[in-house]
Amino acid sequence: MTREEFKEILTQAISRQEEYTSKWHEKDIELDLSRNEEGLDFLEIVLTEHACNFKLWHVEDKARRKDVDDSVIANCKREIDKLNQLRNDWMEKIDLWIVNNIVPYLPKVKEKKYNTETIGSIMDRLSILSLKIYHMQEQTLRDDVGLEHIETCKHKLSVLKEQHFDLKKSLIELVEDYFSGLKVPKVYFQFKMYNDPNLNPELYSAK
Domain boundaries, the chain: 3-196
Asked whether 181 and 109 are in contact (CB, 8 A), the reply is: yes
pLDDT tens-place string over residues 85-136? 999 999 999 999 999 999 999 999 999 999 999 999 999 999 999 999 999 9
- Torsion angle defined by CA atoms of residues 53, 27, 78 and 13, in that order, rounded to the nearest 10 degrees: -20
- Torsion angle defined by CA atoms of residues 41, 82, 201 and 204, in that order, rounded to the nearest 10 degrees: -90
Spatial CA neighbour of 124 closest among 3, 2, 17: 17
Identify the pLDDT of residue 60. 95
Identify the pLDDT of residue 204. 85
Give 138's pLDDT tier (boundaries 50, 70, 90).
very high
Give 207's pLDDT tier (boundaries 50, 70, 90).
low
Over the chain, what is the mean pLDDT?
94
Q: Which residues contact 109 (CB under 8 A, 6 or more apart)?
A: 181, 184
- CB neighbourhood size of 79 (10 A): 16
Q: What percent of the chain has pLDDT over 90?
A: 84
